[in-house]
């Protein structure tokens, strides 16, 4: 008995081919949600089963994998998914955005610019941007097919009527390549502009909902808005207490027992690099 316990990257080759076919279709129709036969993974739904399957299907032995959760490389979810692929695929891993060829992410897009040799894989809980407005799947599919999207603006209208501005701060809906309305997964709207014209391929996997969708490189991605209430990038008004960044997305953390608070970069790799070398960060990839 010398057969390996797992196939390379856990999934069997037939499953990977099925997922790759879904990915190819998703790339061919930017923003369209392609159904796929999502598998049971050795982790609970909601922990990134969709992202893990996409990563498993595209990973090759020479790839360098980075996994982030809310921007951080060192949280439970990120660490365990990284370990999972070290064990099942033996790939090299990194925490450096520049050195990674595949980056699996939950809820953030790295601060450092991505290059055309990189693939960003998003973990998606609810892929359907119309879901909370229209509960019927049959109806939302028809709405996508007919580009019947007026209802999206009804939601934004409600925001302005209630709060005076568009109060949606994450999972902010976008229009991809002038056609499909897409949920960018629960990334903060701060990251929305990074999706537009991005040199890297962006893949989205929703395991429980069994959908894969994609933004091909250099695709136009527009955040929905009104002419008199244009889309605005939101960033907490503060400076990173560790690296002094004023341009990165920040997390607010409680620093002591008396409720003292500081802001720190949510992207730990970005923050670390700035502390070691304050020179501006350039793009990387497998070149």
Partner 1 sequence: MADEEAPLLIAESLSKWYGRQLGCRNVSFGLYEGEVIAVVGESGSGKSTLMRLLCAELAPSDGKVLYRMRDGVTRDLALLSEAERRFLVRTDWGFVHQDATLGLRMAVSAGANVGDRLMASGWRHYGRIRGTAIDWLDRVEIDRGRIDESPQTYSGGMRQRLQIARSLVSQPRLVLMDEPTGGLDVSVQARLLDLVRGLVADLKLSVVIVTHDLAVARLLSHRIMVMKDGQVIESGLTDQVLDDPREPYTQLLVSSILPP
Q: Which stretch binds partner 1 (CB under 8 A): 189-197, 226-234, 265-273, 276-284?
A: 226-234
- Residue of 4, 42, 150, 259 interacting with partner 1 (CB under 8 A): 150
Site for partner 1 in 159-178 (CB under 8 A): 160-162
- Residue of 229, 233, 235, 275 interacting with partner 1 (CB under 8 A): 229
Total of chain residues touching partner 1, rule CB under 8 A: 20
Among the options 31, 50, 51, 205, which is catalytic? 31
> Which string of x and - marks every residue 114-143 that binds partner 1 (by CB under 8 A)?
----------------------------x-
Spacing of C-alpha 60 from chain mean position: 20
Quick check: is 198 catalytic? no
Asked whether position 242 contacts partner 1 by CB under 8 A, the answer is no
Helices (H), 76-230: 76-89, 137-145, 150-163, 192-195
Quick check: is 243 catalytic? yes
DSSP secondary-structure letter at 281? P
Count other C-beta atoms under 10 Å from residue 165's C-beta.
Answer: 11
Quick check: is 71 catalytic? no
How many alpha carbons lie under 13 Å from residue 104 in its C-beta half-sphere? Answer: 31
Residues 67 and 73: their CA atoms lie apart, in Å, by 6
Residues 282 and 287: their CA atoms lie apart, in Å, by 13
CB-nearer residue toward partner 1: 83 or 163: 163
At closest approach, how far in Å is the CB of 158 from partner 1? 5
Name the one residue in this structure whose structure tokens are 């992207």: 267
At closest approach, how far in Å is the CB of 220 from partner 1? 17
DSSP codes, 34-99:
EE--PPP-SS-TTSSHHHHHHHHHH--TT-EEEEEETTBSSSHHHHHHHHHHHHHH--EE-S-TTT
Among the options 51, 198, 271, 285, which is catalytic? 271
* H or E element that contains 102: strand 102-106
At closest approach, how far in Å is the CB of 222 from partner 1? 12
Among the options 48, 71, 205, 265, which is catalytic? 265
- Residue of 40, 228, 256, 277 interacting with partner 1 (CB under 8 A): 228
Residue ranges in contact with partner 1 by CB under 8 A: 142, 146-151, 153-155, 157-158, 160-162, 225-229
Catalytic residues: 31, 240, 243, 265, 271
């Amino acid at each position: 008995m010398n057969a390996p316990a797992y196939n390379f990257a856990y999934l069997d080759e037939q499953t990977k081919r099925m997922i790759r076919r879904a990915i190819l279709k998703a790339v061919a129709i930017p923003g369209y949600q392609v159904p796929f036969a999502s598998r049971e993974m050795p982790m609970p739904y909601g922990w990134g089963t969709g992202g893990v399957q996409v990563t498993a299907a595209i990973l090759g032995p020479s790839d360098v994998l980075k996994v982030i959760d809310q921007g951080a490389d060192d949280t439970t979810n990120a660490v365990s998914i990284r370990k999972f692929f070290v064990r099942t695929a033996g790939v090299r891993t990194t925490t450096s955005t520049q050195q990674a060829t595949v980056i699996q992410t939950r809820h953030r897009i790295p601060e450092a610019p991505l290059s055309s040799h990189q693939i960003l894989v998003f973990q998606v809980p609810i892929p359907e941007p119309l879901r909370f407005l229209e509960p019927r799947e049959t109806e939302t599919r028809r709405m996508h097919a007919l580009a019947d999207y007026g209802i999206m603006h009804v939601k934004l209208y409600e925001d302005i009527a209630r709060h005076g501005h568009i109060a949606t701060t994450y999972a902010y809906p976008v229009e991809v390549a002038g056609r499909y309305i897409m949920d960018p997964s629960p990334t903060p709207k701060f990251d929305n502009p990074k999706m537009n014209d991005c040199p890297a391929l962006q893949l989205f996997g929703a395991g429980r909902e069994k959908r894969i969708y994609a933004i091909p490189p250099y695709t136009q991605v527009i955040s929905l808005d009104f002419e008199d209430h244009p889309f605005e990038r939101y960033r907490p008004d503060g400076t990173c207490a560790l690296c002094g960044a004023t341009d990165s997305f920040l997390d607010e953390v409680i620093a002591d027992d008396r409720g003292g608070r500081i802001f720190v970069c949510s992207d730990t790799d970005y923050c670390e690099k700035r502390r070691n070398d304050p020179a501006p960060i350039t793009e990387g990839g497998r070149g």
